Structure 1
Amino acid sequence: MEDEQMTKDILYIKGDATKPEVAGNKILVHVCNDIGGWGKGFVTALSRRWKAPEKAYRQWYTVKEGFRLGAIQLVQVEPDIWVANLLGQRKIIKDENGNPPVRYDAIAEGLHKLAILAEEIQASVHMPRIGCGLAGGTWDKIEPLIDAALCVKGIQVTVYDYGS
């Protein structure tokens, strides 16, 4: 974990978000779309490592119970690791006005729900730069949402930039 950098209360490191190297309970959070699509971006790394998050997401989409923007689904993948599927992306392409699929309000809502769960199981939170890949969001808008939902509650957050 070289090239570590702390900004606010978020630790930024180069590495693989699917392999957090800290003790204790950990939640890996990522942003999902609201149309049942899974197969590009960070989810491919999740699916290579664990099958359960994709299976749970697809079942959640099929059943539709609670499946809406701002919702989260927590899936335990190891005794001390959970994956949080956060619905923060509307469809997968820009809308008719050219707006990207990211929905900042939905991500904020999901992060606040995640904070409650992280406190309950005393977990740190780990993520790539959520909402900034295929969803088309910008980090300058996402980072304050993380700070407001998680960091202010003293929840340890690590953001991973993949690569060497």
Structure 2
Amino acid sequence: MTQIIYLKGDATNPIAKGNKIIAHICNDAGGWGKGFVLAISRKWKQPEKEYRKWYRDKNNFKLGEVQLVPVLNYISVCNMIGQKGTKTGSKGAPIRYEAVESCLEKLAEIAKEQQASIHMPRIGCGLAGGKWELIEPIIRKTLTVKGVAVYIYDFD
């Protein structure tokens, strides 16, 4: 089983060799404008454009789905819908752990096909309101147990 590698730094500047996929959590409400997505948009415009088009077209745009957006020859961004809405309400925080698991299962298949490593912040633990102690085991169950290298970035 591959280990999760924790790093200080910026997940939009992944440091491994070979193909890399930057993964992050999106909401199912079509909103893009707070949190890690701002760092992505500062670097590349395509992930936001593709996410907004996906939302408008309603083409399989739902919790648990993923969208891969190539941004450089060896880097793609994976928009993962793992958040219900954008605000904490009567049903708790926006994070939906079962949707995150579904997204990461799909991402594992993509990563294996592309022989890519996965790079991400502590997904789901910012605005989505998730708890890392619940997210990390999902990452292990869906990615590292299948031999996919995962790099988690804590921004300085």
Please give the TM-score of this superposition, normalised by the length of structure 2: 0.98
Q: Any runs of at least 4 consecutive aligned residues in structure 1 with deviations exceeding 3 A, and if so which?
A: none
Matched, 1:24 2:39: no
Which letter does structure 2 place at the counterpart of 1:54?
E
Query: Which of 137, 146, 149 is equivalent to 1:153?
Result: 146
Identity over aligned pairs, percent? 55
CA distance in 2 between partners of 1:157 and 1:21 (Å): 11
Name the aligned partner's letter for residue 119 of structure 1: K
Aligned match of 2:66 in 63, 66, 72? Answer: 72
CA distance in 2, matches of 1:94, 1:11: 30
Alignment of 1:46-65 (within 5 A): 46-65=40-59
Q: Counterpart amino acid of 2:149?
A: Q
SS of 1:45 mapped into structure 2: helix
Question: Secondary structure in 2 aligned to 1:47?
Answer: helix
Unaligned runs of 5+ in 2: none
- Residue in 2 that maps onto 1:126: 119
Coordinate RMSD, CA, aligned: 0.8
1:112 paired to 2:99: no
Gaps of 5+ in 1: 1-7
> Deviation of residue 95 (structure 1)?
2.2
Query: Do residues 143 (structure 1) and 154 (structure 2) align?
Result: no
What code does the residue aligned with 1:117 have?
Answer: I
Distance 2:88 2:16 in 1: 37
Deviation per CA, 1:87-130: give whole Å up to 9, x if none: 00000011224x00000000000000000000000000000000
Residue deviations 1:19-52 (CA, integer Å, cap 9, x gap): 0111100000000000000000000000000000
- Larger RCO: Structure 1 or Structure 2 (Cα < 8 Å, ≥ 6 residues apart)? 2
Residue correspondences, number: 155
Which whole-Å CA distance do the structure 2 matches of 1:21 and 1:88 have between them? Answer: 25
2:53 alignment partner, SS class: helix
